[in-house]
Chains A and B, each alone.
Chain A
Amino acid sequence: MKHKVPLSGNSAVAYAVKAMDVDVVSAYPITPQTTIVEKIAEFVANGELDAKVIHVESEHSALSAAVGASATGARIFTASSSQGIALMYEIMFIASSMRLPIVMTIATRALSAPINIWNDHSDFMAVSDTGWVMMMAENNQEAHDDVVLAYRIAEDPRVLLPVATALDGFFMTHTIEPIEVISREEGLEFAPKKKTWYTLDPDNPVTMGALGDPNWYFEFKKQQYEALKNSRTVFDEAVKEFEKKFGRSYGPVEYFGNEDAEVVLVAMGHVSGNIKAFIEKTSAGNVGLLRVKLYRPFPEDLIVKHLENAEIVGVIDRALVPGSPYGGPLYSDVIVTLSKNNLSKKVVDFIAGLGGRPVTLGHIKNIVEKLEELKLKPQKDLPKEPLFVGVRE
Chain B
Amino acid sequence: MSRPLTIRDLPREERFAPGHRMCQGCGAAILMRHITKAVPKDTIITQATGCVEVTTTLYPETAWKHPWIHVAFENAAAVASGVEAALKALKRKGVIPESKDVKVLSMGGDGGTFDIGIQALSGMLERGHDVLYIVYDNEAYMNTGIQRSGATPFGAWTTTTPVGKVWRGEWRRKKDIISIALAHRVPYVATVNPAFLPDLYEKIRKALSIKGPKLIHAFSPCVPGWRYEPELTIAIAKMAVFTGVWVNYEVENGEFRVTTPVPKRKPVEEYLKLQGRFRHLTAQEISEIQKYVDEQVEHINKLAGKVVIGPVER
Contact = CB atoms under 8 A, between A and B. Distances in A.
Given A26-B82, A51-B89, A74-B90, A68 B46 contact: yes
Interface stretch (B4-12, B118-126, B229-237, B284-292): B118-126
A54 B85 contact: yes
Interface in B71-130: 71-72, 74-75, 78-83, 85-90, 92-93, 95, 102, 119-120, 122-123, 126-127
Contact of A55 (B74, B79, B127): B127
A93 to B, nearest CB: 10
Interface of A: 23-24, 26, 50-52, 54-58, 60-61, 64-74, 76, 90-91, 94, 98, 199-202, 204-213, 216
Interface of B: 41-44, 46, 53-54, 57-60, 62, 64-72, 74-75, 78-83, 85-90, 92-93, 95, 102, 119-120, 122-123, 126-127
14 contacts: A50-B93, A60-B120, A61-B78, A64-B120, A68-B78, A68-B81, A69-B83, A72-B44, A202-B42, A205-B67, A207-B64, A209-B69, A211-B53, A212-B59
Contact of B82 (A65, A207, A213): A65
Contacts of A94: 71-72
B57 A24 contact: no
Nearest to A58: B119
B93 A208 contact: no
Nearest to B77: A61
Nearest to B83: A68
A54 B81 contact: yes
A174 B41 CA distance: 49
Contacts of B66: 202, 205
A200 B85 contact: no
Contacts of B82: 24, 26, 54, 64-72, 76
Contact of B71 (A55, A206, A209): A209
Most interface-central of B71, B75, B87, B90 (chain A CB within 10 A) = B71
B79 A216 contact: no
Contacts of A199: 67
A50 B92 contact: yes
A207 B57 contact: yes
A211 B57 contact: yes
Nearest to B129: A54
B108 to A, nearest CB: 13
Contacts of B75: 60-61, 64, 91
Given A68-B86, A211-B58, 9 more contacts: A55-B127, A57-B119, A57-B123, A60-B74, A61-B78, A70-B82, A70-B86, A72-B86, A202-B67
B68 A207 contact: yes
Given A24-B89, A210-B62, A64 B127 contact: no
Contacts of A207: 57, 62, 64, 68-69
Given A207-B57, A209-B69, A212-B59, A202 B78 contact: no
Contact of B59 (A60, A74, A216): A216
A81 to B, nearest CB: 19
Contact of B85 (A50, A65, A206): A65
Nearest to A94: B71
- Residue with the highest number of chain A CB atoms closer than 10 Å, among B60, B68, B69: B69
Contacts of A24: 82, 85-86, 89
A64 B89 contact: no
A54 B54 contact: no
Contacts of B43: 202
Contact of A26 (B44, B46, B85): B85
Contacts of A65: 78-79, 81-82, 85
A52 B69 contact: no
B90 A72 contact: yes
B71 A200 contact: no
A355 B107 CA distance: 41
A364 to B, nearest CB: 43
B72 to A, nearest CB: 6
A202 B127 CA distance: 25
A68 B47 CA distance: 11
